[in-house]
Structures are given as structure tokens and as C-alpha cells.
Amino acid sequence: MGDEKNIHNSGSETLKEHSLTEKDQGISRKQALKYIGYGAGGLLVGGGTGFYGYRKSLQISSSEADQIKKAKIVVAGGSIGGLTAAARLLRAVPDADITVIEPREQHHYQPGYTLVGAGVYNREDVIFDQKSLFLSGMKWIKDYVQAFEPDQNRILTRGGERVSYDYLIVGLGVETNLDSIENLREALQTDYVANIYDLKSSEKYRQLAKNFEGGNAVFTYPAGYVKCGGAPQKITWLSEDLWRNEGKRDRTNVHFYTTRPSLFPVVPKVDQAVTPLIEKRGILNHYNHVLRAIDISTRTAIFEETGENGTGREIRQPYDLLHPMPAFQTPEPLRNGPLTREGIGGQLSVDRQTLQHTQYSNIFGVGDNAATGAAKTAATIRKQAPVVAGNIIDQILGHEPSNNYDGASGCPLLTRYGRCMMFEFDYQGNLINEWIYRPTQETRLWWNFKVHGLKRLYRHVMMNGYV
Ligand SMILES: Cc1cc2nc3c(=O)[nH]c(=O)nc-3n(C[C@H](O)[C@H](O)[C@H](O)COP(=O)(O)OP(=O)(O)OC[C@H]3O[C@@H](n4cnc5c(N)ncnc54)[C@H](O)[C@@H]3O)c2cc1C
């Protein structure tokens, strides 16, 4: 992989590092200017929309603002979901009474983990001091939510404090369930197994990929809901590109085992565009396979393949490098508490449009932990946070929730170093703003936007409530 410092420096250094020629890049100066134009247009439209929403939320009379200030709003989980919704509320009513319950002192920019695994970002690129993320006026309880007590409108913290609220925003996210694959915990301690869903493990993966000398590289995609459904593919494709550029590709079999029937079934147009590109690169896609166990002694991944009639068949795949993806679950107080219901895998039970809890009208959900069926991404939160903030204001002022979330999400699919397909889609899997993104094309513009722009959007636009 070469000098990591170079790789880290910038997207263009990465291109140099992986020696893509002008011809490989397939883009002329004229085209580049055109794409920059599209990008600028996208930013204008996105910024304009955000600005409009921001202005709209400020149309509150001073008597309404006084009413809103009296409501005690508690946010469970101070990450991108909880903090963006809270910041949006504070932008509308600067003296709103907002308390955030969040145990961590360091915030991780998780969308950057893929780039850590790929050798583009370093650890320090994805860590923020948690304290620096709170807007002035937000109160911070540095503790875990131990239990929700919604009938009493309060939360019990791990430290034993009872925190009462008038309105509650739940943004606890989702976490990997390391017990969902037999022997996964032990396998992750070996020199052949790592994944990018944890910062330390992303750093390990980067080393394993760099030192890989060929053989079977096996990547998997889990069953159930997935945090950033694009990430397992992105790391597969970037790794393949890395080994190609380093001359190791002809001695490497790249296997991608997925539980799904195709690469990107959620958005058919993207699926149809990306699948032939990936197949042309010789990546071996295995559909309808779930990873059940890992045999560490023989370095074998054991899958169950679901046949057409629903029957299972065991498939054994030897590996020299394994990137396994376990299933996801919500944190303990949510999955075993009163705010979920049967059949939604421990997620927060919300109306998928208003994001209001289905049983408790003063509770709203934002981000990965909410059972909306939408993609679990920060891009989703950009669209959900204003809905949550707007509907809480509606409730305080005695109105029905009037803001609706349409399922919109986005994905920067990093197909290879220096190339990205960017797209937004809705609940139905329809592409949004196709004319801006040109979503079925791999472009350098969107790679640069992913590497250099999205973290700023996350930290400075979203977390400051300008959504
Ligand atoms: C490898 C990877 C790649 C990704 N790529 C992208 C991408 O390219 N684009 C994109 O938009 N998104 C991407 N994402 C997804 C994105 O990071 C998540 O969707 C986003 O972080 C979800 O935000 P959240 O606030 O809902 O939850 P999280 O960010 O997971 O935060 C949950 C918060 O709740 C806190 N918490 C947990 N339990 C408790 C408790 N009991 N009490 C109090 N607080 C608690 C945690 O400390 C944390 O701060 C990626 C994620 C990963 C892992």
C-alpha cells in the first residue's frame, strides 16, 4: 500500500499512490469542470433547502417561544442523531431547555471508519472531543441511560439519577452483536480477521489488507437491519482495487457473501448500474448466504445458503483474510425496554413519517435506532432531525405533528480509490435529485466530496442545526 502518510494526505495523493493514470481516470478537464458545476449546483440546492427549513423553523412568535422554553426536552444519546435534532431546536428557540444524556467523552465520526480501513484517513481524522459538540445552552449528563420509564416521563441513569422530561428524543444508535456469529469474538483476535465497524478493528483491517499477500479474501454482509448498508461493499471494492494496484490481484480471490439477493436491492437503478461494474472486476458475489460460524483452526467461514424453496445448505469457504459482518442490535435499555415492540428487532417503535413514538406521543426517535425501515446512515439523519424538531415544537404548541419524513437517505458508494457513485433515495427506493448526482456514474468529484466534504457537513452543518 506504500507510504501511509501519502495515502492519508488527500484524495489526489491516494490517486497517485494507486497510480491511476489520466486514462484510467477517464475524465477530461472539460468533464471535470462540468462535474464541479454539478457539485456546486448540488450544494446550492442542498444549502438552499436547508436554509429554507431553518428559516421556516424560526417563524415562531415570542409568546410561542416562551411556551417552548418552559418544556424540558431530554435527548438520550448525544451523537449525530440526537445532537442534530437538539441543535435544530436550539436554532429555532435559543433558550430551549435541552439536556443530553451521553456517556462518551470522545465522539467517533463513524462514516470515516471505511476510509480508515482503506488507509485514507487516520485515527485522529475521525475523533472529536464530545464536549466540543454541544452548542451553548445544552446541558450534558455524562452517563448511560439504564432504563426508560415512559409512564413516569423519566429516565433512570446507570449512576442512579432519575431524569424527568416533558419531551424525549431517543438517538441511541445500533451496535454490532458479536454473538450473532459463532466464534466471532475469538476470530477477531486472530491475525486474519477484522472489520471496519469499530475504530480499532478498522486500523487492524488496514494493516491486514496492506500486508495481504494473496489467497482468499472473504467479505460478508449480515441479515437484519444494517448500519450503513453500503459500507461492507465499499471496503470490499476498495480492497480489490488496492490489491489490483499493488500487483496482487492475480493471486487473490475476492469473495463477497451477502444475505441479500443482489448487491444493492434497495435501489434497483443503482443495483443495475453497479453490478456489471463489479462483476467485470472479477469479484465473486455470492447471494443469499448468511455467515453462521468461523472455524478458526482451519480458517474457514461457514455459511448457510438459502435455496429458492427456503431450505438451508452449509457452504464452507476457506479464508486468508476475513472481513465478517455480524448482525446489529439496539443498545440494552432500548431492546429490552418498554419503547420497542415485537417484530422490530428491539428498535424504537415510531411512526415512519412523523417519527413520533407509536404509544407515547411525547417521545420521538431519530437515527439508526428508529424502526422506520429507512437506511441507517448519517445522511438519513440530515432529513430526520428537522422533522423531529419541528414535530416537538408542534406538540408543545398544542398542534398535531405536521412534519413528515419521506425516507430520504443517501450513500457515497466508493467503488475504487478516487471514484464514487453518489445518490439519494426515498422509502420506495426511487432516486432523488438524479440530475445533481448522476448516480450511476463513478466520479472523482464525489470521491473528493466524501473524503473532504462530508465530515465538515456532519460536524459543522448538521451538528450546528443548519439542516
Ligand atoms: C463503517 C461505517 C461506515 C459508515 N458510512 C456512512 C456513510 O458513508 N454515510 C453515512 O451517512 N453514514 C454512514 N455510516 C452510518 C452512520 O455513522 C450512522 O448512521 C450514524 O452514526 C447514526 O447516528 P446515531 O446518532 O443514530 O447513532 P450513533 O452515531 O451510533 O450514536 C449513538 C449514541 O448513543 C450513545 N449511547 C449508546 N447507548 C447509550 C445509553 N445506554 N445511554 C446513553 N447513550 C448511549 C452512544 O455513546 C452514541 O453516542 C457509517 C457507519 C459505519 C460504522
* Distance in angstroms (rounded) separating the CA atoms of residues 272 and 13: 31
Mean pLDDT of 45-73: 69
Q: Is a pLDDT exceeding 60 seen at residue 23?
A: no
**Predicted pLDDT at 81:** 98
Rounded to 10°, the helix 199-211/231-245 angle is 30
Please, where in the chain does CATH 3.50.50.60 lie?
Answer: 40-174+330-396, 177-329
- Indicate which residue's Cα is closest to atom 19 of ligand 1: 377
Give 397 Cα–ligand 1 centroid separation in angstroms.
Answer: 31
Tell which residue, 180, 181, 208, 201, has the closest CA to residue 300.
Answer: 181
Q: Is a pLDDT exceeding 90 seen at residue 55?
A: no
Name the residue of 100, 106, 129, 227 whose CB sits within 8 Å of the most ligand 1 atoms, as the mutation to test its pocket: 227
Rg (CA), the chain: 22
- Indicate which residue's Cα is closest to atom 43 of ligand 1: 144
Which entry of 89, 163, 174, 411 is annotated as an active-site residue? Answer: 411
Give 376 Cα–ligand 1 centroid separation in angstroms.
Answer: 9
* Distance in angstroms (rounded) separating the CA atoms of residues 1 and 120: 11
**Predicted pLDDT at 58:** 53
pTM of the model: 0.91
* Atom of ligand 1 at shortest range from CA of 332: 41
Tell which residue, 80, 89, 148, has the closest CA to residue 395.
Answer: 89
**Predicted pLDDT at 308:** 78
Instruction: Calculate ∠ Cα 3-4-9, nearest 5°.
Output: 110
Q: Which three cell numbers stand for residue 192?
A: 486474519
95 burial level (CB within 10 Å; 0-12, 13-18, 19+):
exposed
Give 83 Cα–ligand 1 centroid separation in angstroms.
Answer: 11
Q: Is a pLDDT exceeding 50 seen at residue 2?
A: no
Whether residue 228 lies in the annotated active site? yes
* Atom of ligand 1 at shortest range from CA of 82: 25
Q: For 380-408, what is each residue's pLDDT tens digit?
A: 999 999 999 999 999 999 999 999 999 99
The domain defined by 40-174+330-396 folds into FAD/NAD(P)-binding domain (3.50.50)
**Predicted pLDDT at 307:** 81
CB atoms within 10 A of CB 428: 9
Instruction: Tell me the residue length of the chain.
Output: 467
CB atoms within 10 A of CB 274: 22
* Distance in angstroms (rounded) separating the CA atoms of residues 80 and 59: 25
**Predicted pLDDT at 310:** 76
Question: pLDDT-derived band of residue 20, with 50, 70 and 90 as boundaries?
Answer: very low
CB atoms within 10 A of CB 130: 20
Q: Measure CA of the first residue to CA of the last residue in the chain; give whole Å.
A: 38
Homologous superfamily (CATH) of 177-329 is FAD/NAD(P)-binding domain (3.50.50.60)
Q: For 114-162, what is each residue's pLDDT tens digit?
A: 999 999 999 999 999 999 999 999 999 999 999 999 999 999 999 999 9
Name the β-bridge partners of 424: 410, 432
Q: Which three cell numbers stand for residue 288?
A: 443469499
* Distance in angstroms (rounded) separating the CA atoms of residues 51 and 362: 27
Whether residue 420 lies in the annotated active site? no
Which entry of 89, 101, 228, 344 is annotated as an active-site residue? Answer: 228
* Atom of ligand 1 at shortest range from CA of 333: 41
Name the residue of 377, 382, 450, 463 whose CB sits within 8 Å of the most ligand 1 atoms, as the mutation to test its pocket: 377
Give 314 Cα–ligand 1 centroid separation in angstroms.
Answer: 33
Give 81 Cα–ligand 1 centroid separation in angstroms.
Answer: 8
- Indicate which residue's Cα is closest to atom 25 of ligand 1: 81
Mean pLDDT of 21-27: 37
Give 244 Cα–ligand 1 centroid separation in angstroms.
Answer: 32
Rounded to 10°, the helix 80-92/378-396 angle is 40
- The string of DSSP codes covering 8-60 is HH-HHHHHHHTT--HHHHT--HHHHHHHHHHHHHHHHHHHHHHHHHHHHHT--
CB atoms within 10 A of CB 71: 20
- Indicate which residue's Cα is closest to atom 30 of ligand 1: 173
Mean pLDDT of 435-464: 96
* Atom of ligand 1 at shortest range from CA of 109: 17
- Ligand 1 pocket list (CB less than 6 A): 76-82, 101-104, 110-111, 113-114, 144-145, 171-173, 196-197, 227-228, 231, 331, 333, 367-369, 376-379, 381, 412
Q: Which residue has the cell 472481513?
A: 323
Question: pLDDT-derived band of residue 8, with 50, 70 and 90 as boundaries?
Answer: very low
Name the residue of 101, 368, 452, 459 whose CB sits within 8 Å of the most ligand 1 atoms, as the mutation to test its pocket: 368
Mean pLDDT of 411-418: 97
Strand order from edge to edge, sheet including 321-323: 284-286, 252-258, 215-221, 321-323
* Distance in angstroms (rounded) separating the CA atoms of residues 365 and 354: 9
* Atom of ligand 1 at shortest range from CA of 196: 1
Give 302 Cα–ligand 1 centroid separation in angstroms.
Answer: 29
Give 378 Cα–ligand 1 centroid separation in angstroms.
Answer: 8
* Atom of ligand 1 at shortest range from CA of 410: 11
- Indicate which residue's Cα is closest to atom 45 of ligand 1: 77
Q: For 166-208, what is each residue's pLDDT tens digit?
A: 999 999 999 999 999 999 999 999 999 999 999 999 999 999 9
* Distance in angstroms (rounded) separating the CA atoms of residues 417 and 90: 39
* Atom of ligand 1 at shortest range from CA of 174: 30
* Distance in angstroms (rounded) separating the CA atoms of residues 227 and 8: 25
